[in-house]
Structure formats: C-alpha cells, structure tokens
Copies of this chain bind each other. A is one copy, B any other.
Amino acid sequence: MSTAASIGAPAGEGALAVICGGGSLPFAVAGAAARRGRRVVLFALRGWADPQRVAGYRHHWIRLGQVGRFLRLAREEGCHDVVAIGSVVRPTLWQLRPDLGMIPLLPRVARMFQGGDAHLLAGVAGLLEEQGFRLVAAQELAPDILMPEGTIGMRQPSEAARRDIAHGLALLRATGPFDVGQAVVVAEHNILAVEAAEGTDQMLARVAELRRSGRIGVAGGVLVKAPKPGQDRRIDLPTIGPQTIEGAARAGLDGLALMAGGSFVAEPESIATLADRAKLFVFGVRDEAPGR
C-alpha cells in the first residue's frame, strides 16, 4: 500500500474503487473521476496494471484471487462504487490462488467458471453487489473512452468494406447467445477468422500467418468487433488499442469496425497516427440492431 495524489474530498457518491488491469484505460477512468473531485483508490492487479502509472494514485496491489483482501480494503477506504477496467487474460480457477476471504465464495466462483467470459463476469458483478458494492460502468465515469460514431484518423471504409462490416456484425449477432468471442475478420464476404478463447491479437496474428502461407485467396478485409447481445456493459466491452492497429496492419486488413458507444478505445491519438500511417480506417458503426 502507498499513497499519492488522491485528489479532492469525497463527493456525494463517496470514494471510487478502480480495479485496475493492463493498458491505459484504467488511468483514463481514474483521471476523469479524480478531475470531477471524486476520491479514487486503485486496486492494481499484480502482473497487469502498470506500476509507474499506478504510483500516481492512492492504491493497493492485489492478486486476482484476493477477493477477501479487496473486500476488506475497499470497505476500509470507504468505497461504495467499484469500476473494473483494463486488460486481464481470463485466469484459470487455479491461477486465482484464493485468499481466506474468498474461500466461503469458492463453490460459487467455481460455478462462475463453467461458462464463457460473459457468464464469468456477470458472476463477478453479482458477487460484488451482494457484498454491498455498486458496480459502475467505466464509460459512465469517462464517456470519452467510448468509440465515437464515424472514423478515427483519416481513412473511410469503402462500400465493399461496409458490406463486409454488415456481414461480420450479422455473424456476431448470430453467435452472441453462445458467449463466444466478440470479433471476426471478414474479407470480400468471406469469414476468415472467428475469435474465441484466443483473443483478438492472436486472431489477427493467425490471419497474417494464413496470408503469408497463401491460404487466404482474397485481399484486404475488416476486423469487426461488437459487444455480445445482452452483455452487461458495465464490464468487458470490446476494446482496441495501438496494438490492435498494428495487428490489423500485419494481417493485411483495410480497417477496423467497432460499435459506436459499445467499445472502448485506448489512446485514440496513437491509434489515429498508426492507422493513418498504415492506411487503415477505424470506423465506429451506429448501433442499429434491436436489443443490442
């Protein structure tokens, strides 16, 4: 535990606990809340959160399995609202190494692990709320981390790319009920790759490799990412960062399409620069499907 610039007095909403994974998004959220005068406490996930940036906030380091430690410290810090943000690869139940406070919850947590990511995260949300906390969506605190409508950077998707985007979104809607991944790669109406447990970066690396080996007979293509239908948007919205642009460029794609208002964008300025340099579009699609 250490202290640093925790800015301002508690607002009416009380202190905010930020469970902090990898990447820059947690600091965008923490910063936005702090600028509005909110007391912010980071719960930095060991192995994921960036130590240098964590040091700028009041913080505690926790392991993923230290549910007991989190609940105790968050109460001591007077936090009622909790936001969870940043990249974490889904752990195995064993990797959690549960602490004492988690042991009574273990049967329940084990059940949460029997399903896809959305199932797991819904379980985490329910658990926090039962313990008297309120799970807050990161985008409520920092709306500017959401993908806007239209493009980031200078490129626009072609008509053909727009058709591929619609095709990819339709496939993601069809697979939504199965709690699979949230991304596909489409080129000239061909589905080149569907994301599941491997994640977006590895799926893009696969497309790059298939292309190098001549296994893909069409040019270009689009990475399409969307939230699952009915997904709890307080946790785990699809996210892109600079590494997504780099992966898409290596995969020979023409661009990326994300649901406007339904995806997070980390470091939009770097993304715009990289996308322009790689001649990729980054396009926020309006959410038109009912019930998304």
Contacts and interface: CB of A to CB of B under 8 A. Distances in A.
A108 to B, nearest CB: 16
A194 interface: yes
Contacts of A218: 92, 113-114
Interface stretch (A128-136, A185-193, A237-245, A274-282): A185-193
B189 A196 contact: no
Nearest to A195: B194
A198 B113 CA distance: 28
Given A190-B116, A191-B179, A91 B217 contact: yes
A208 to B, nearest CB: 12
B188 A178 contact: no
B188 A196 contact: no
Contact of A177 (B116, B174, B198, B210): B174
Contacts of A91: 217
Interface string A169-189: 011001101111100110011
A90 interface: yes
A214 interface: yes
A195 B196 CA distance: 10
Given A116-B189, A194-B195, 14 more contacts: A91-B217, A92-B214, A94-B217, A95-B217, A115-B190, A167-B178, A170-B178, A171-B180, A174-B178, A191-B197, A193-B197, A193-B198, A197-B207, A202-B206
Interface of A: 89-95, 113-116, 167, 170-171, 174-175, 177-181, 184-185, 188-198, 202, 206-207, 210, 214-218
